[in-house]
Copies of this chain bind each other. A is one copy, B any other.
Amino acid sequence: MIDVPYLLFLGDAPDPLAAKVAQGIRDWRPAYAKGQLRMPGCKADMRLPDMTPAEAAAAGVRTMVIGVANRGGKISREWLEVLKEALEAGLDLASGLHNLLRDEPELVALAAKLGRRLHDVRVPSVPYPIANGERRSGKRCLAIGTDCSVGKMYTALAMEQAMRKRGMKASFRATGQTGILITGEGVPLDAVIADFMAGSVEWLTPDNDPDHWDLIEGQGSLFHPSYSGVTLALIHGGQPDALVLCHEPTRTHMRGLPGYSLPSLEELRDLGLQMARIVNPDVRVVGISVNTSGMSRDEAQRYLAEVEQRMGLPAVDPFADGAERLAEALDAL
């Protein structure tokens, strides 16, 4: 678990997109985002107070989060100096980079000397159990997709926000690096050892109040040959009571696989239900989340209306329209 609040390190981001981790924290956990640190040439801006590590520490910040992708697959000398400055100022560091903080001897030595923590959220830090398949109290909703990267994380975060607004008990449960940095906790599922995948999801979504919803971040797709096993572990470890179907209608083939076309929403619904019923016979599909960023607003509205009518389920783009109708659908269950 990462201590909050955060100073968001934007480094020398070449463009705003490179800082999507910082943007996610800014959007979904604004209370965690106390300030930002930009280096010369930084093209990203979270519209937060610019702070040095010392100023951030004085303002109560506990951790500096690497909110930006690095270039060239290494942590540069310039970055290292800023990271060391943060440790000296009393902050922990948290990173989802492929290059691990713990592989930088200078950071390791300094953190050890000062009693600071280095969080590499790509690396599991918990000895997860083997899944036992037992029912847990509380309710769980999982976003599943026709493909990878169709907006499953965004959907779950938007649903959490909409549910809390309605006064419902809801917790986003992160299963990827960005989600873990946003919330400060979670399971880096794609880095978990095969035998413990489903168990790590059970661990992530323990017993809870009967009216509490875990909103589990989805990964991969049952139809994506590279990652389908991860998706099935999420379904069988998560024991969802509710599924939300996620889709990006303009995609011409599965991400990274030119030879594979996307399944239809009906195919996703049927296979998702079939797999989820193995662990929860009462599972329901409650709604559809469509990423319409590749369509005009008119096209998007027509598409959503057509899908809603065809599938008999609320169909929304949570980015454009919010996730209130998906929250309502869960509330009505």
Contact = CB atoms under 8 A, between A and B. Distances in A.
Contact of A195 (B191, B199, B260, B279): B191
How often does this chain occur in the complex, in copies?
2
Interface in A223-254: 223, 225-233, 236-237, 254
A118 interface: no
A195 B227 contact: yes
Interface stretch (A9-17, A68-76, A129-137): A129-137
A229 B225 contact: no
A189 interface: yes
A194 B230 contact: yes
B223 A278 contact: yes
B194 A189 contact: yes
Nearest to A219: B194
A238 to B, nearest CB: 10
Contacts of A279: 225
- Chain B CB within 10 A, most for which of A131, A226, A254: A226
A189 B232 CA distance: 16
B195 A193 contact: no
A192 interface: yes
Contact of A232 (B134, B229, B254, B260): B229
B237 A233 contact: no
A192 B193 contact: yes
B230 A236 contact: no
Contacts of A237: 225
A133 B224 CA distance: 9
13 contacts: A131-B225, A133-B254, A189-B194, A194-B194, A194-B233, A195-B230, A222-B232, A225-B279, A229-B229, A229-B231, A229-B233, A232-B232, A271-B274
